[in-house]
Structure 1
Amino acid sequence: MVEQQDLKYAVVGKFSHGMPSIAFLRTAIPKQCSLKAEVNIGLLHNRHVLIRCSIEEDYVTLMSRPNFWIKENSKSFLMKTFKWDIGFTPEEETSMAVIWLSFPNLPPNFYVPSILFSIASAVGRPIAIDAATLNKTRPSCARVKVEADLLQEHPQRYNIQIMNGEEMETMSYKIRYDFLPKYCTTCMLQGHDLQGCWKEHPELQPEKRNHGEDSVVAAAKGKAPNPTLPPTNPSRQNPNPKPLPTAPPPRNGLP
């Protein structure tokens, strides 16, 4: 078994449209992503960086947002974050993601970390509880953050057994997913599923239209002219234009 030394809290940062230098990122990512402890950042691929966090809190911070904007002078670079694993390949994105679970109408006496983590483990690995749940300042709904596999089935309800007098009563409660990213097994990317995949369904791609053609060029290509565009040469649109008015001839003896 391959040992994953110092990679327990490792995150992959992916830049899709250019990226700053690795020297700049080593300073910018901790500051602009609000990391609290030391991190080690290195180039993993030509547009991927490996961010090794030293504490779980920073790992959760990086994984809790779908993307970050890293600013360098007047430019901003989009960085998406993913959990690193030993099967990493640059062409594919992991199916693991951090998501928030909400448990509406759960009685406040169950707002105990061990109980909440036990409930949330039905979806994934629990990693955090929000402050309002811990402080019981929002007793209408408990929230837990988990690390889950997007390819797995996600339960919609859970059961809790409650003592009602001398009898055990089973109560069923709803699980609400605050945001569940989609994953495409064809593209191996997060952000869409098979139903919205352009590779699987080319008809879903938006048509690429050239709105800069004038009516004459469009007609030559067999297209209907665009009535909103002015003609390039008005005389070509009107074969018998009206002549412009001319001044009358001068009278004899008069200028």
Structure 2
Amino acid sequence: MEDIERIAVPFQYALVGKFSRGRPNMDDLRKFFHALDLTAEFSLGLLDRRHILIRLANEADYYRVWSRGVWSINKAPMRVFKWSIDFHVDREASIVPVWFALPKLPVHIFHKECLFSIVGCLGRPLCVDAATAKGSRPNVARVCVEVDLLKSLPSRVWIAFGERMGFWQPLIPKNLPKYCEHCFHQGHGVAECRIKNPGLKVSRSSQATAGTSDAPTGAATAATTQIETKVDKLKDGLVEDGEAMVGARAKRIPQGNADDLGRVEGVDTSGAEGQMSQAMVTSMENQTDRHKLSKAVGGSDPSPVEGGGDEDGCGEHG
């Protein structure tokens, strides 16, 4: 084992980039890494059609590239994994860099050594962000830690200064991924693994198909029924919801010309049905007269106006 570790020393700052949605050509990848303005030399090599080996020369560049997690190169996302002697292109590593926030931490322990000691219960501390190092954001400290997704992580740690009163310090991770021990991939657990549980994919597809097929049918049926009911009521000349409907093709009759009702296209004033239609038109005209009289004397229209309210209270106020 010691011999294996010794021959692996040249790869201590090696990372693996994985492209799951298409990989740019190697020339474009080299141009991208040159544009990062790294502090030392680097080299890129192709492992397979999805993976590239990224060899860096120092710790600073190594942490910078790895702690980012995901890079976008020519609109193609590249996830970055730690290389180790156990790495294989068919298995994603369970060792990942995770940023942890330490809110309300006393400002006098924003020192790097103090912070590394606090987060040591999570894994191997890697670095702090620039704002933490400068102390320009005193409300929260951020530390990047190398953690193993196969291990449980504490959510807080007890901090005490000698015999003084101590406190519980929250350790809040940002974007902590799940890890599947069955397919050795990040992003889901064993319970959500579609390789171990092929029925999950079938059931989800069935639910999606059922949902898309039932909803339009029900909506179409309801809409058709509503339209048919409306047409029937228009034909019968019924009054509903305070709206007068005088035949399917009735036109507005000028005020004071109720005698012209018989000349409205499609309306017959003879018989009971015609008298009912004439009564409805007269009722509408009377309502119009009362509305005009109310405005003339400075009153307000008592009838509600559709859409006139503002339920959220977000309207403009003078």
Contact 1:95/1:150, CA 8 A, preserved across alignment = yes
Task: Give the whole-Å Cα distance in 2 for the aligned partners of 1:131 and 1:45.
Answer: 35
- Following superposition of structure 1 onto structure 2, how do residues 1-255 of structure 1 map, counting pairs within 5 Å? 1=2, 2=4, 3=6, 4-31=8-35, 33=36, 35-71=38-74, 76-163=75-162, 167-205=163-201, 206-207=204-205, 227=217
The Cα of 1:210 is off from its aligned counterpart by: 7.8
Task: Give the whole-Å Cα distance in 2 for the aligned partners of 1:175 and 1:53.
Answer: 30
Task: Give the whole-Å Cα distance in 2 for the aligned partners of 1:58 and 1:37.
Answer: 8
The 3 A distance-change label for structure 1 pair 152 and 64 is same
Task: Give the whole-Å Cα distance in 1 for the aligned partners of 2:73 and 2:170.
Answer: 38
Contact 2:132/2:141, CA 8 A, preserved across alignment = yes
The Cα of 1:109 is off from its aligned counterpart by: 1.1
The Cα of 1:80 is off from its aligned counterpart by: 1.4
Two-structure CA RMSD over aligned residues (Å): 2.7
Contact 1:82/1:94, CA 8 A, preserved across alignment = yes
Task: Give the whole-Å Cα distance in 2 for the aligned partners of 1:14 and 1:34.
Answer: 21
Contact 2:46/2:53, CA 8 A, preserved across alignment = yes
Contact 1:96/1:148, CA 8 A, preserved across alignment = yes
Deviations 1:124-162 (A, max 9, x none): 111111222222222221111111111111111111222
SS of equivalent residue, structure 1 residue 121: helix
Q: What are the ranges of 5 or more consecutive residues in structure 1 without an aligned counterpart?
A: 212-222, 229-255
TM-score by length of 1: 0.73
Contact 2:110/2:133, CA 8 A, preserved across alignment = yes
Contact 1:181/1:191, CA 8 A, preserved across alignment = yes
Length, aligned pairs only: 210
The Cα of 1:227 is off from its aligned counterpart by: 4.9
Contact 2:69/2:97, CA 8 A, preserved across alignment = no
The 3 A distance-change label for structure 1 pair 115 and 194 is same
Task: Give the whole-Å Cα distance in 2 for the aligned partners of 1:52 and 1:130.
Answer: 23
Corresponding position of 1:249: none
Task: Give the whole-Å Cα distance in 1 for the aligned partners of 2:217 and 2:97.
Answer: 51
Task: Give the whole-Å Cα distance in 2 for the aligned partners of 1:20 and 1:158.
Answer: 44
Deviations 1:185-235 (A, max 9, x none): 111011111232222333432317789xxxxxxxxxxx99x759xxxxxxx
Which structure ranks higher in relative contact order (CA pairs < 8 Å, sequence separation ≥ 6)? Answer: 1
**Identical pairs, percent:** 37
Corresponding position of 1:248: none
Contact 1:29/1:70, CA 8 A, preserved across alignment = no
The 3 A distance-change label for structure 1 pair 176 and 227 is closer
SS of equivalent residue, structure 2 residue 116: helix
Larger strand share, 1 or 2: 1
Identify which range, 182-191 or 46-55, moves more after superposition.
Answer: 46-55
Q: What are the ranges of 5 or more consecutive residues in structure 2 without an aligned counterpart?
A: 219-318
